[in-house]
Amino acid sequence: MVKLQLRLPETVHRKVKKIAKKEKLSMNQLLVGSISSEIIRYETMHFFARRAKDFKEEDFLAALQEVPKIKPEKRDRLD
């Protein structure tokens, strides 16, 4: 585990403290969770950006042609 000193604007500190109290978490737990979520968001965004570079519309349309043309079961319909 690494210890990190962090400077926060007073307004941000107050909000973090208020949310942590409301959620019954320590400020550390709240901040670690928030930072972890941001890392996941960032990595997911970049994963799909890399995958999108290889996207070929003609391959996608060809794959769609392989999907059987049948009505979905009643429980799977949106109507």
The closest of 25, 31, 32 to 12, measured between CA atoms, is: 31
Question: What confidence score (pLDDT) does residue 71 get?
Answer: 87
For the full predicted model, state whether its pTM sits above 0.75.
Answer: no
pLDDT over threshold 90, residue 20: yes
pLDDT over threshold 90, residue 29: yes
pLDDT in tens, 31-64: 999 999 999 999 999 999 999 998 999 999 999 9
pLDDT over threshold 90, residue 79: no
pLDDT over threshold 90, residue 3: yes
How many degrees, rounded to 5, is the angle at CA 62 between CA 57 and CA 63?
100
